Amino acid sequence: MKRKTFDKIVTSVGALLTVFLLVVAALANWGASFAAGSVSSQLEAQKITMPKASEFAADTDADVLAYFTSREN
């Protein structure tokens, strides 16, 4: 195989791989935003809220942590 032919093949494969990876990245980005939007709209429609981390009491968390760390598997 001539060097010029090999270079064309490698360049073509690289270009196709670049296009393929860009399409995969675009689809993954679209899928992530679709999933986040779906979850947000479902939680909102069902009136489900998540408390902020600052709203948790420190001793309640400590009690829960102590409970689970004291249990044996």
pLDDT in tens, 5-34: 999 999 999 999 999 999 999 999 999 999
Distance CA 22, CA 28 (A): 10
Mean pLDDT of all residues belonging to the chain: 87
Q: Where is pLDDT greater, at 41 or 49?
A: 41
Q: Which contacts (CB < 8 Å, 24+ apart) does range 4-10 have?
A: none
